[in-house]
Chain A
Amino acid sequence: MGDAMSEQSSKEGGVLANPTRRTVLALGAAAASTVVTIRPALAQTAGSVMNCQIPVPGPQHSGQYIAADGSLVAPGTPGSFAPPARPITGEEAKTLLRGGFTPNGMDSQSAQAYANYIRRLQSGMSGFTCYASLQLPR
């Protein structure tokens, strides 16, 4: 018992500051709320930039190829590129649009076409909200 107690008390790195056996914890009434979430726009942006995805092209144009200028063309059109095998993540798009690294598994020419497609996204298109969130200051 004594050993188990000291082991519990010596845990570090959590949200508890060295709890001891003598600390009294009131659980309170079931109705008493204890969690308040702060929803600043920037905090949401940070989350969405990390997690959001941009399908290229959107599901309504599935199968179409992407021309160098970012427009959608029929599959096999000369000078166009096959869609990426997976959606581009917000983080990847951000780097790509700044002329940085090409996402894993994509060559630089097709990645530029995808970047141009993303730049042409408009409200209502798949991935637009993700793209728009990339434009906000961090």
Chain B
Amino acid sequence: MAGPIYAADGPGAIRAVPLDGLVALFHRPSGMTHIVAPPAPQILEALQEGPADARTLLARIAAVYEIGEGSAEAIEARLAELEEAGLVRRA
């Protein structure tokens, strides 16, 4: 059974500044600032290709990165956090 489909705002909605291992994100629509750690920035980047569920996002990320430890469940947990922060929404 497929999990929920998530979507993110377009690239113009977020100003991202890398801070060593972290990324500061300014979300223009809400005026909020977030500090995110991997894999959250990579999830947001993968969502730029279009709405997707956790499994699809994992595949997109795996096309760019060597996936270390972790699983689709970890992606789902990160998506829930990003949703609470207002950075992604259910499509």
Closest to A33 in B: B81
Verify A28–B11 contact, CB threshold 8 A. no
Contact of A35 with B66 in the complex, beta carbons under 8 Å = no
Query: Which listed residue (B64, B73, B82) contacts A30, Cβ 8 A?
Result: B73
| Residues of chain B at interface, number, CB under 8 A | 44
Chain A residues lying within 8 Å of B31, measured Cβ to Cβ, are: 43-48, 50
Most interface-central of A25, A32, A34, A50 (chain B CB within 10 A) = A34
Residue A19 interfacial (CB < 8 Å):
yes
Cα A46 to Cα B68 in complex, Å, equals: 39
Chain B residues, Cβ within 8 Å of A27: 39, 67-71, 74-75, 78
Query: B5 in the interface, Cβ–Cβ < 8 Å?
Result: no
Quick one: closest A residue to B60, CB to CB?
A8
Q: Which one of A16, A21, A45 lies within 8 Å of B45 (CB-CB)? A: A16
Residue of B nearest to A36 (CB): B35
| A26 lies within 8 A of B70 (CB) | yes
Docked Cα-Cα span, A17 to B41, in Å, equals 11
Least CB separation from A30: chain B residue: B77
Rounded to whole Å, the gap between the CB of B67 and the closest CB of chain A is 6
Q: Does A39 contact B (CB under 8 A)?
A: yes
What chain B residues lie within 8 Å of A19 (beta carbons)? 42, 64-65
Please give, as numbers and ranges, the residues of chain A lying within 8 Å of B82 by CB-CB distance.
Answer: 35
**Residue contact A34 to B70, C-beta cutoff 8 Å:** no
Is B77 in contact with A43, judged by CB distance below 8 angstroms? no
In the complex, 15 of the A-B residue pairs with CB atoms within 8 angstroms, ordered by the A residue number, are: A14-B16, A15-B16, A16-B64, A17-B18, A22-B66, A23-B66, A27-B75, A28-B69, A28-B70, A34-B39, A34-B81, A36-B36, A38-B33, A43-B33, A44-B32
- Could you list which residues of chain B lie within 8 angstroms of chain A, going by C-beta atoms? 11, 14, 16, 18, 23, 25, 29-42, 44-45, 48, 61, 63-71, 73-78, 81-82, 84-85, 87
* A interface, CB within 8 angstroms of B: 4, 8-9, 13-17, 19, 21-40, 43-48, 50-51
